[in-house]
Amino acid sequence: MLINIIFWVTQRKWLIIAFLFGIVLYLFPPPQGLTLNGYRTFVILLISIMLIIFEPIPLPAVAMLILVFQVFFGIASPNEVAASFMTDAVFFIMGSLMMAVAIVSQGLDKRLALGIINITGHHTIRIVTGFVSFCAVLSSFIGEHTVTAMMMPVGLTLVRHSSDDPKKTGKLTLLILFSIAYGSAIGSIGTPSGGGRNVIMLGYLSQFEMGNLSYLQWMKYTYPILLVEIPFAIILLWWTFKPEKKTLDSAVRKLKVQVAKSGKITGRQITSISIFLFIFLGWVFLSPSVGLGIISLFGVVLYLSFGLVEWKEINRNTNWGAIMLFGSAISLGFQMKDTGAAIWVASELIEGLKILTDDIDFIRSFVSIFVTVGLTNFLSSAGTVSVLGPIVLNMGGDSIIIALSTAMASAFAYLTVVASPTCMIIHSSGLVKSSDYLRCGWKMTIMSIIILLMFIHLFWPLST
């Protein structure tokens, strides 16, 4: 019995620390300028961040705890919490996760593999260029983890065909895997459907009545950045992971033979692509009136109705815990705004950073870009936008620019395994060490921040 208690304490130490920390903060009076409910919301936020980072309890439990605390602390009524929990952004995250299952289950990865290697040929540099470019463009529409899930088998098969001895292909493996992961991450900024965090930010913008951006308007701001980043990413990846083999002719030949066995494109695959194109057109033309999430859910309905995927498969591969967590994080974000906690944190941040400079624009950029990049590498990109969104939008300035720069900076998740699903997916192959992320990640981070700052200060003012 005693041993079980000691073991439980050692395994759940972060739960105990988080609660003790919360209780101590709760007993203090609210800081000047912050309402009691705002202070309580801020305490819930800090506890939640600790629980999300260290995971001492399952994520759905964290999600429910956020909702329960809001009611227990008298911050909002049960109906208000329920209403803020389910938004169009949550519908979008739900729908895009389900559509990813439907798309990947069609076996389109083999078609993509054939398409890429037919264009790139057998030179390693051209193959890497193909992987980064293709992953970036595709992930901008269907989401980064879907593309990584489809492209990783292609990349790893190519590596396996290039040598039987893994020791001889260590750098080639890293080059290919990071080309897929970073390519997908770069692409996720391109459109609102590139990542759940983009939709979360759009949701905050419209809910806080700070502006609206259509699908195409978003692309007008972000797609040029995506296209500029691609060549720089290829150079940095090649420079960091100089591969052992400069050509992969026999590997490409073997891959072509393997892929050719899958035969001609099937009716199911054509239907699947057609449905996605239909949904894409819906996002472009209908999202301002019906929302991105509703269109995504309609896409899921179509995939199910045409028998392209079974509900059992969707249910098995959809992380309901993550959906609940994003729902409750967004709900907390709304309370941050309503209770004045967001504006208090924003003004405190600005006041604090005035020690460094009086340039308010610089401070806004610093928080929306540098703090976002820092937090996203520990908390995950979508989690960071959920938490920081209400704060950065209350810092003043052009809310559209702040929203876009924060959403984009949250995609610069190159430094750690836990930064984004793509980083975690390539790590799960067992072929990438945690230290490998730093090797190229810091270069990618600096490059991405410089390009983003150039666009914010030089090009975006021209287009507004």
- Shortest gap between Cβ of 254 and other proteins (angstroms)? 13
Give the shortest CB-329-to-other proteins separation in angstroms: 11
Determine whether 350 is exposed, middle or buried from the number of CB atoms within 10 Å of its CB (0-12, 13-18, 19+): middle
Q: Which residue lies nearer to other proteins by CB, 57 or 451?
A: 57
Segment interacting with other proteins, rule: CB under 8 A, options 149-157, 187-195, 367-375, 450-458: 149-157
Residue 251 as a binder of other proteins (CB under 8 A): the answer is no
Helix axes 124-142, 144-162, angle to 10 degrees: 160
The answer to whether residue 167 forms part of the interface with other proteins (CB under 8 A) is: no
Determine if 429 is a binding residue for other proteins (CB under 8 A).
Answer: yes
User: Which of 153, 231, 352, 461 is in the footprint of other proteins by CB under 8 A?
Assistant: 153
Is 16 a binding residue for other proteins by CB under 8 A? The answer is no
Q: By CB under 8 A, is residue 417 in contact with other proteins?
A: yes
Task: Please return the burial class of 18, using the count of CB atoms within 10 Å of its CB with bins 0-12, 13-18 and 19+.
Answer: buried
Tell me if 266 contacts other proteins by CB under 8 A: no
The answer to whether 51 contacts other proteins (rule: CB under 8 A) is: no
Of 58, 74, 78, 352, the one binding other proteins by CB under 8 A: 58
Q: Which residues contact 94 (CB under 8 A, 6 or more apart)?
A: 293, 296, 297, 318, 323
Measured from the CB atom, the residue of 155 and 243 that comes closer to other proteins is 155
Tokens of 78: 């049960």
**In the set 170, 317, 442, 449, which binds other proteins (CB under 8 A)?**
317
Angstrom distance (rounded) from CA 74 to CA 332:
13
Q: Which of residues 70-129 bind other proteins (CB under 8 A)?
A: 97, 100-101, 104, 107, 109
Alpha-carbon torsion 379, 380, 382, 388, what sign? positive
Find the binder of other proteins among 15, 174, 325, 393 (CB under 8 A): 325
Alpha carbon separation from 242 to 171, 176, 360 (Å, rounded): 7, 11, 42
Rule CB under 8 A: say whether 263 interacts with other proteins: no
At how many degrees (to 10) do helices 434-454 and 399-409 cross? 160
Q: Say whether residue 424 binds other proteins (CB under 8 A).
A: yes
3 is a contact residue toward other proteins (CB under 8 A): yes
Among 2, 355, 458, 462, binds other proteins (CB under 8 A): 2
Least distance from other proteins to the Cβ atom of residue 148, Å: 6
45 binds other proteins, rule: CB under 8 A: no
Taking the least distance from each CB to other proteins, the nearer of 250 and 319 is 319
Q: How far apart are CA 194 and CA 401, in angstroms?
A: 18
- Is 245 exposed, middle or buried, given 0-12, 13-18 or 19+ CB atoms closer than 10 A? middle
Cβ nearer to other proteins, comparing 3 with 462: 3
Residues present in the chain in total:
464
Q: Cα separation of 44 and 281, whole Å? A: 40
Backbone angles phi, psi at 12, to 5 degrees: -110, 25
Collect all residues with Cβ–Cβ distance below 8 Å to 425 and sequence separation of at least 6: 145, 148, 149, 152, 181
How many residues sit in the footprint of other proteins (CB under 8 A)?
A: 44
For residue 317, what are its two tokens?
């591969």
Task: Choose the stretch contacting other proteins; rule: CB under 8 A; options: 5-13, 169-177, 209-217, 335-343.
Answer: 5-13
Residues near other proteins (CB under 8 A) are 2-3, 6-7, 11, 52, 55, 58-59, 97, 100-101, 104, 107, 109, 145, 148-150, 152-154, 156-157, 160, 317-319, 321-322, 325, 380, 383, 417-418, 420-421, 424-425, 427-431
